[in-house]
Amino acid sequence: MIIKVTILIMCGTFILGMAVAGITAGLGAVISSISNHHSNPKEK
Amino acid sequence: MKNIDFNILFQGISTLVHSETTVLITRISLILLGILLVYLGRKGILEALVMLPMGLGMAAINCGVLIMPDGNPGNIFVDALATDPIVILDKLQINFLQPIYTFMFSNGLIACLIFMGIGVLLDINFLLRRPFTSMFIALCAELGTFFTLPIAKAMGLGYGESASVAMIGGADGPMVLFTSMSLAKELFVPISVVAYLYLGLTYGLYPYLVKLMVPKKLRGIKMESPNNNKQFKPGTKITFAVLMCVILSILFPVASPLFLSLFVGVVIRESGLTSVINVIAGPILYGSTFFLGLMLGVLCDASILLNPKVLILLVLGVVALLLSGIGGILGGYAMYFFTKGKFNPVIGIAGVSCVPTTAKVAQKIVSKENPSALILADAMGANICGVITSALIAGIYITIIPLLG
């Protein structure tokens, strides 16, 4: 029982952790592209 | 003069002499341990800010036992076992540290204040540069937090106690305190004391673990990270903190005070509110850490530490931290192979949180082998992710473990 719970918690944490990393990377990329877009009006 | 009862006059000595042999030995041992902690804190071997008040508190509580009005031995420092509101109200007027325990400790406020201070000190720029690598390393460095849970259960601890002691693997003192206050209130004192004792010692011992697991030529690998000089705008960092706080609080409402404390610290830092930053990073962080040490010290009275489970906790604390260190380095190796030798595996140890100590340990080891190799930025990224993953696991444990019964 406890082994199963530990494995589930491990997998859950891994997925959540990677989701956090994904949000971080996505956020960084989106905000960078928005600020680049604003600083370079020719692209509009 | 004939009527003077020396047992009443010197109650500290009489309660010591008249106590049972086991209590007597434990009290004397704790007095000596307290003095040793003060010495080690003063010498800088253990963290002075925690160890000086903890050591002196431990010595004082075991000396200052007196006969209470009900005829039983007790103290006028704090009563951690009082639960009845009327008794607590009574104790608040007698025990000098009772207000701090009742209003700051038993509700986890002190852990949250320390976490807020940590949030103010975090520069999440390091995390935003290489989020996947940092997060992967940090997750690997939680090996001890995961595997100590079944080991502790197999050694006879309950689910809540096992999860609390497993949190030592996250190497984050306030997190251990918060989890054990939620899941194992009767053992939170020994678990927190073991955590703080080992955290101080482990940072001295992790370099040996790294040297044992990483050969000399790999320790000097120079990192080539194209993003190392990239600076994210405060707006990006605030958006990240707000999003993380909201998402994690929705997922784990029980641990939302921890998430709020951490991310409000980050938001304050990035907002540039200098006066608030100075208050949180100064008086609040240092004051809370000091009182945490003092409170843990005075809670170490013989009766609380005579629990036979303390010995198991001492073993499990080492196991948790050792496994996390090994997991972190293995994560570093995995990245080394993924990047075909361009990643320094020493960074793995920085995945074990407690900002910024393990990151500094990693940089120090690397600099010794190759003075031109700078890995601090990558190590700090893993380190900050370590704080987030520890909070994540604390949230998962506090939510799931009570369901197991």
pLDDT one-digit tens code per residue, B252-288 = 888 899 899 999 999 999 999 999 999 999 999 999 9
Mutation target vs B (from A2, A23, A33, A38; most B CBs, 10 A cutoff):
A2
Mutation target vs A (from B393, B398, B401, B404; most A CBs, 10 A cutoff):
B393
Q: Helix B376-404 vs helix A2-39: angle between axes, to the nearest 10 degrees?
A: 140
- A41 — pLDDT class (breaks 50, 70, 90): low
The answer, for B403 touching chain A at a CB cutoff of 8 Å, is no
Residue in B with minimal Cα distance to A16: B392
Give me the sign of the Cα torsion angle B104, B105, B107, B113: positive
Report the pLDDT value the prediction gives residue B200, as an integer from 0 to 100: 74
In this structure, are residues B97 and B104 in contact, taking their beta carbons and an 8 Å threshold? no
b/e burial code for range B50-61 (CB count within 10 A of at least 16 → b): bbbbbbbbbbbb
Cα(B347)–Cα(B268) distance, integer angstroms: 28
pLDDT at A39 over 70: no
Q: Read out DSSP for B242-272?
A: HHHHHHHHHH-GGGHHHHHHHHHHHHHHHHT
Residue from the list A6, A17, A18 with its beta carbon closest to the beta carbon of B150:
A6
B272-281, B302-311, B373-382 — most confident range: B272-281
What does DSSP assign to residue B223?
Answer: P
Distance from CA of B131 to the nearest CA of A (A): 5
CB contact under 8 A, B236 and A32: yes
Q: What percent of chain B has pLDDT over 70?
A: 98
Show the tokens assigned to B76: 């006028």
Length of chain B: 405
CB contact under 8 A, B142 and A18: no
What residues of chain A lie within 8 A of the CB of B147, using their CB?
A: 6
Report the pLDDT value the prediction gives residue B278, as an integer from 0 to 100: 95
Distances from the Cα of B385 to the Cα of B64, B87, B185, B337, angstroms: 43, 43, 28, 21
Residue in B with minimal Cα distance to A15: B139
Q: Looking only at Cα atoms, what is the longest distance across chain A?
A: 61
Report the pLDDT value the prediction gives residue B128, as an integer from 0 to 100: 85
The answer, for A29 touching chain B at a CB cutoff of 8 Å, is no
Torsion, Cα of B143, B146, B147, B150 (10° steps): 180
Distances from the Cα of B310 to the Cα of B135, B238, B294, angstroms: 33, 42, 20
- B120 — pLDDT class (breaks 50, 70, 90): very high
- What are the φ/ψ torsions at residue B45 (nearest 5 degrees)? -70, -40
pLDDT at B62 over 80: yes
Report the pLDDT value the prediction gives residue A21, as an integer from 0 to 100: 87
Q: What is the mean pLDDT of chain B?
A: 89
Summarised one tens digit per residue, pLDDT across range B172-185 is 888 898 899 899 98
Helix (H) or strand (E) holding B74: strand B73-74
Nearest CA to B224 out of B315, B135, B342, B324 is that of: B342
In this structure, are residues B348 and B137 in contact, taking their beta carbons and an 8 Å threshold? yes
CB contact under 8 A, B139 and A28: no
What residues of chain A lie within 8 A of the CB of B385, using their CB?
A: 17, 21
The answer, for B132 touching chain A at a CB cutoff of 8 Å, is yes
Residue from the list B243, B397, B404 with its beta carbon closest to the beta carbon of A23:
B243
Query: Which stretches of chain A are DSSP H helices?
Result: 2-39
Show the tokens assigned to B135: 């997060």
Could you give the 3-state DSSP secondary structure of residue B371? coil
Count of pairs with CB atoms under 8 A, one residue in A, one in B: 86
b/e burial code for range B361-394 (CB count within 10 A of at least 16 → b): bbbebbbebbeebbbbbbbbbbbbbbbbbbbbbb
- Under 8 Å CB-to-CB from B253, ≥6 apart: which residues? none
pLDDT at B354 over 80: no
Report the pLDDT value the prediction gives residue A44, as an integer from 0 to 100: 44
The answer, for A17 touching chain B at a CB cutoff of 8 Å, is yes
- B307 — pLDDT class (breaks 50, 70, 90): confident
Cα(B83)–Cα(B68) distance, integer angstroms: 18
Q: Helix B159-166 vs helix B376-404: angle between axes, to the nearest 10 degrees?
A: 180
CB contact under 8 A, B239 and A31: yes
In this structure, are residues B55 and B36 in contact, taking their beta carbons and an 8 Å threshold? yes
Across the range B341-356, mean pLDDT stands at: 88
Q: Which residues pair with B73 in a beta bridge?
A: B67
What residues of chain B lie within 8 A of the CB of A20, using their CB?
A: 131, 135, 244, 388, 392
Torsion, Cα of B79, B82, B88, B92 (10° steps): 0
